């Protein structure tokens, strides 16, 4: 018996490019930047004063008013993305199927705003000023927990905390849950909201962030010789995965199939990629094996592409290792050039952009790519989106600690 096929039937996005899939995808295709000056706090004294913030977001549209105060912003964002995805899919969760519908939503950091707020309250006003909801606000798994409660999904419920690979691992693990028959459908994704004084200070002092404060929209420059670090972003993405036969039976719209999932560890350094990108290369090879696919079948790669010097160069080297001469025939783009780096949410947002590239036959660009790094010599779809019949798309995510995830999606051609 072959592997169970798994379809993507619903999408939800909340990003610096817009609220909703249509707004975010439309901005990405147009090559618009969502990066601007930080408004979540006064960053005027910080060396980094820019980020990709979600603008105009009202959590009350997606969560009960009484529940909002029990959640930190990263949970608010995940509730919105999950609501959009479930509605988009048309999936009805009932007493009959609830135990076969699960939730997998990851994050890299979790409730950092709540941590900072209540630590200050504790120091200044005493322990009684710490909310009884502080711990549930903080915990990464409460994103999945609250989504499960809202929709009555009683199947597998878990959260992945693998830094910048969390969203991709969440999707991949959910894929395997369905393949092995432990669920018929999974609400899977990633979320993050860490644009806070502590978050910006920590990444800034690591020298990881761009300091191009004078032109925020030009600050995120993956694969460009003038790149000077990544731009912090926030947001959430959720997809609905379903066993293909069940999705067909209920007449669901199918955006694409998920075909392969690979993971690996660099086992090298807490923040730096392994030499020559060998860990990333093993991860991509693993996903191709899982998809029973040859490298030459991939049309498009949504790269991790953070705009850090070694990260971009070593991902490029890894792609060449895996794809050989075909690497130069691929379209490879980094949508972080527009969204900034959404940390634990980045993998699922980029997976959704990969899915939409298949569904709409268009590849989003890498903007701000004006002076390519000589070490980065692939086709990064510079500055303008491109029409392309994408049959197979790969999405890469690599996180601190050397944790890697790679997803492969393919066009749905019938059962």
Residues carrying an active site annotation:
164, 304, 341
Q: Cα 15 to the chain's mean position, in Å?
A: 10
Q: How far is CA 353 from CA 4, 184, 222, 239, 365, in A?
A: 24, 24, 17, 11, 11
Which residues is 37 bridged to in the sheet? 50
Query: Six-digit token pair at 385?
Result: 């989106």
291/286 Cα distance (integer angstroms): 9
């Amino acid at each position: 018996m072959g592997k169970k096929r798994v379809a993507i039937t619903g999408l939800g996005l909340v990003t610096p490019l817009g609220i909703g899939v249509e707004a975010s995808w439309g901005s990405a295709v147009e090559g618009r930047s969502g990066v601007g000056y930080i408004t979540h706090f006064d960053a005027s004294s910080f060396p980094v004063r820019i980020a990709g913030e979600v603008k105009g977001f009202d959590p009350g549209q997606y969560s009960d008013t009484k529940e909002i105060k029990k959640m930190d912003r990263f949970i608010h964002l995940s509730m919105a993305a999950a609501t959009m995805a479930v509605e988009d899919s048309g999936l009805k969760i009932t007493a009959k199927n609830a135990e076969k519908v699960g939730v997998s939503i990851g994050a890299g950091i979790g409730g950092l705003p709540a941590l900072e707020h209540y630590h200050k309250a504790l120091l200044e006003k005493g322990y009684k000023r710490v909310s009884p909801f502080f711990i549930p606000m903080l915990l990464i798994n409460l994103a999945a927990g609250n989504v499960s409660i809202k929709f009555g999904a009683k199947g597998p419920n878990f959260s992945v905390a693998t830094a910048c690979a969390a969203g991709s691992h969440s999707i991949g693990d959910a894929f395997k849950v369905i393949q092995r028959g432990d669920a018929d459908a999974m609400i899977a994704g990633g979320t993050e909201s860490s644009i806070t004084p502590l978050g910006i200070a920590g990444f800034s002092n690591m020298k990881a962030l761009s300091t191009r404060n004078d032109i925020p929209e030009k600050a995120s420059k993956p694969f460009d010789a003038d790149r000077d670090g990544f731009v912090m972003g926030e947001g959430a993405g959720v997809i609905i995965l379903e066993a293909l036969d069940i999705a067909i039976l209920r007449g669901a719209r199918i955006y694409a199939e998920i075909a392969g999932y690979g993971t690996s560890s660099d086992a090298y350094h807490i923040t730096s990629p392994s030499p020559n990108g060998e860990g990333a290369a093993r991860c991509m090879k693993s996903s191709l094996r899982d998809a029973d696919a040859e490298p030459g079948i991939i049309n498009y790669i949504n790269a991790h592409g953070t705009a850090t010097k070694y990260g971009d160069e070593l991902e490029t080297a890894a792609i060449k290792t895996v794809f050989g001469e075909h690497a130069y025939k691929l379209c490879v783009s980094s949508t972080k050039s527009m969204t900034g780096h959404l940390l634990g949410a980045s993998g699922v947002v980029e997976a959704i952009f990969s899915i939409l590239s298949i569904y709409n036959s268009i590849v989003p660009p890498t903007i701000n790519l004006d002076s390519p790094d000589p070490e980065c010599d692939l086709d990064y779809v510079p500055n303008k989106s491109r029409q392309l019949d994408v049959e197979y798309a790969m999405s890469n995510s690599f996180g601190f600690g050397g944790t890697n995830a790679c997803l492969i999606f393919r066009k749905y051609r019938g059962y």
